[in-house]
Amino acid sequence: MHEKYNVFMEYKILNNQIHSLIDPALPIISNLSNVIAFLFHELPNLNWVGIYYCDLEQKVCYLGPFQGRVACTKIPFGKGVVGTCATKKKSMNIENVHTFPGHIACDSTSKSEFVAPLFQGHKLYAILDIDSDIYHRFSLDDIVFLEGVAHLLSCLISNEQNSIS
Ligand code: SME
């Protein structure tokens, strides 16, 4: 119970910090870059956090702002964890990337991965990609928090400024 409460409080604080980091008057890339850096440095056991922009016509995801080692620059829809997320348009928690068919190993230390789609209105805009160097890194609490971050970024991208409070 206490542990659950602590996790809740921890994520509440992180959530508040992300809100205060975002300035809707800035270009979206500035906000995305800072949120990515924040997640990378504040959450433990992450080795890569970044954005892949989705080109809906070419059906390809292109590397955007990130923190971590040099990464794959181009991922076709349907390929790897990122491309599968672009096709399914749903967040995915991969507890062991080695069991995911077609996983693309940009960084060989990655062991688990969480991806969430970002939307501009109803249109797919990008994939938020988070890698960990440990298996089973993302708990249900982590997923709820990260899906909240993805929702916040989608609101920002969609310019629904009232949703950012
Ligand atoms: N592992 C991803 C590729 C991107 S890197 O993790 C940065 C995938 O399978 O799509």
27 CB-contact burial (10 Å; exposed 0-12 / middle 13-18 / buried 19+) = exposed
Shortest-distance atom of ligand 1 to CA 48: 7
Entry pTM: 0.94
Shortest-distance atom of ligand 1 to CA 85: 10
Residue 1: the pLDDT is 56
CA distance 157 to 30: 12
Task: Report the CATH number that the domain containing residue 59 is assigned in CATH.
Answer: 3.30.450.40
Pocket of ligand 1 (CB under 6 A): 48, 71-72, 75, 80-83, 103-104, 106, 110, 113, 129, 131
Structural domain range at position 154: 2-164
Q: State phi, psi for 96 to the nearest 5 degrees.
A: -140, 105
Nearest Cα residue to atom 5 of ligand 1: 106
Tell the residue number behind the tokens 């797919």, with chain if given: 124
Q: Do 84 and 97 form a contact (C-beta atoms < 8 A)?
A: no
Q: What is the per-residue burial (b if ≥16 Cβ within 10 Å, else e) of 155-164?
A: bbbbeeeeeb
> For residue range 16-27, what is the model confidence (pLDDT) as tens digits?
999 999 999 999
CA-nearest of 122, 141, 60, 127 to 91 is: 127
Q: What is the mean pLDDT of each run of 10 residues along the chain (165 residues)?
A: 79 94 95 98 97 98 98 98 98 97 92 98 97 97 96 91 44
Shortest-distance atom of ligand 1 to CA 102: 9
CA-nearest of 16, 28, 38 to 120 is: 28
Cα(58) to ligand 1 centroid in Å equals: 19
Q: Domain tally for the chain?
A: 1
